[in-house]
A and B are shown apart, each in its own frame.
Chain A
């Protein structure tokens, strides 16, 4: 017996991981910064959707674009205030990483303050542990109960994929981004302003983090630490897919998300339910193995085949 809900949830979870992983690799490719602040940007995405849903009472899916925009602006702020100066000073990648860690800790603190504010000022008792799924509108199709998130999440994913693809292959900005990623000096000679590219990639990366958080909040219980707990999976997705390729994030994210969700459920009837508690170990092991065997990831292998 195949559990439909389980598989659908696994797919939505993978969508969220893939979006987050693509965000990580976009920022890494453009600015060579491994963004630790992704964790809190994901968390903010979850909370933006929750707060707007709570005050306006429309279906939570409606606020996904807001989550994208908000976290995107967090990304822009991070770039302008912290990252820009460090890139100009040619800081080492450890220092770049550490600076985003500082940003992450601050954003995490503000997220918690926001949750406190919702809880004590607005008397929302569930502000630190809510399940948006319970308010998700349901539609009855041929006797199967379908939730709105089951439709919206894949649509959002395909939209993002297609628009990224179009942007990178058709628009001037996308081509400028690719050029800057390949060779910043040459791109500058061609009159491309790298700052615009860096700024835009931070916006995209942050926005994707927020969007993946919003999608995550639709199927999991939301709490301030949700980003902290899932961010390692996002890193795993980015690395398994290949940090150096943007599309690799899609593949890696899907692979990691699906195996994290499905492998324990497949193994559980054979080995017993204890497997379920080791769910978190699967993406970590996948990431460690990729790094040790082929650090450039799956995306690089596929790209080589295609050429």
Chain B
């Protein structure tokens, strides 16, 4: 199997995951201005479902312990290894398991999104942002403390659905994640040209006006939250599968909520191409900092990790202060290709001339 250079793999994986999560954020924030400070919630829900459910079902099927022993750190590694052994002999089943993991995560994320619709109806602005942030913290706290779910503080190992390729399965996962990210990007682009998003933008710009024209604001809001939640949950599940471990400690509000916000604000809120650019720039700079950390520490005697933080913070402040529309500002999207629009224009002009 192909094995990527570890650096390339890291860039691809970080970029793909960042793109997936940021796109989901952009659908909610860019098109409907929901202050989604609880992105972490859907992401961690996806990771939890992917870690807790398929492994247990396979353990049940293979007559392995699936209850409390499954998540016990004494047995978990052994059980997961046996499952991986079994999966490595059944490539077709493995792929089915992988698809099922993502599907389950998407459903979980969708349910989370639907549940978030209730506070989103009642609250506005910073109040809603704080409520969503709180929900994320509650779920993280439960995942961290409730051992039977995903092993609590010890975490659990993930089953590897690509064990059958032998070495280089992590490269394969990175490439598949990239493919999924690109697919989701294209989906978001198609969505951006759809009547649905035009309606969302109308609601965003003036809720009353949209209601006057008979648009169901409540339904639109919950649909948007469901779409965003499912996409983010898929991102969380993919990250857990890639790292091979699900531990609640690695899902913090900083990395899964605030950084995607920074990516989105840098690129341009409400613009998928901008989001892509923002994620790409951040991923490259972050990888460069990690790559040249010894050289950097040699020049400035601080840990490069904090340099990364200062950079993210500065970008957020500078973008908010001087370029709130981002690098690529949002433009009205054309429903038809430009040529078709021009043709229609010409035809209208012609008919006007004829009538004169």
The answer on a CB contact under 8 Å between A98 and B127 is no
In the bound complex, residues from chain A placing their C-beta under 8 Å from that of B125 are 92-94
B residues with a Cβ closer than 8 A to A are 29, 33, 35, 37, 118-119, 122-123, 125-127, 129-131, 133-135, 137-138, 141-142, 145, 254, 258, 261-262, 265, 302-303, 305-307, 309-310, 312-317, 320-321, 324
Q: Which of A101, A280, A295 contacts B258 (CB 8 A)?
A: A101
In the bound complex, residues from chain B placing their C-beta under 8 Å from that of A280 are 137, 141
In the bound complex, residues from chain B placing their C-beta under 8 Å from that of A98 are 261, 265, 316, 320
The answer on a CB contact under 8 Å between A281 and B129 is no
User: What is the CB-to-nearest-CB distance from A177 to chain B, in angstroms, rounded to a whole number?
Assistant: 20
In the bound complex, residues from chain A placing their C-beta under 8 Å from that of B37 are 97
**Is A157 an interface residue, CB under 8 A from the partner?**
no
Q: Given the known A-B contacts A105-B312, A291-B131, A295-B122, are A86 and B145 also in contact in the complex, defined by CB atoms under 8 Å?
A: no
Majority SS of interface residues in chain A?
A: helix
Closest 4 CB pairs of A and B: A102-B316, A105-B313, A106-B313, A109-B309
The 25 listed contacts between A and B (C-beta, < 8 Å) are: A34-B126, A82-B317, A91-B320, A93-B126, A94-B35, A97-B37, A97-B129, A98-B320, A101-B316, A102-B312, A102-B320, A105-B254, A106-B317, A109-B309, A110-B310, A113-B306, A116-B302, A116-B303, A235-B130, A239-B130, A287-B134, A288-B119, A288-B134, A291-B127, A292-B118
**Is A99 an interface residue, CB under 8 A from the partner?**
yes
The answer on a CB contact under 8 Å between A281 and B310 is no
The answer on a CB contact under 8 Å between B141 and A112 is no
Q: Which of B130, B135, B306, B313 contacts A102 (CB 8 A)?
A: B313
User: What is the CB-to-nearest-CB distance from B22 to chain A, in angstroms, rounded to a whole number?
Assistant: 14
The answer on a CB contact under 8 Å between B306 and A112 is yes
In the bound complex, residues from chain A placing their C-beta under 8 Å from that of B262 are 102
Majority SS of interface residues in chain B?
A: helix
In the complex, A82 Cα to B137 Cα: how many Å? 27
In the complex, A97 Cα to B36 Cα: how many Å? 12
- A20-35 contact mask (Cβ, 8 Å, vs B): 1 or 0: 0000000010000010
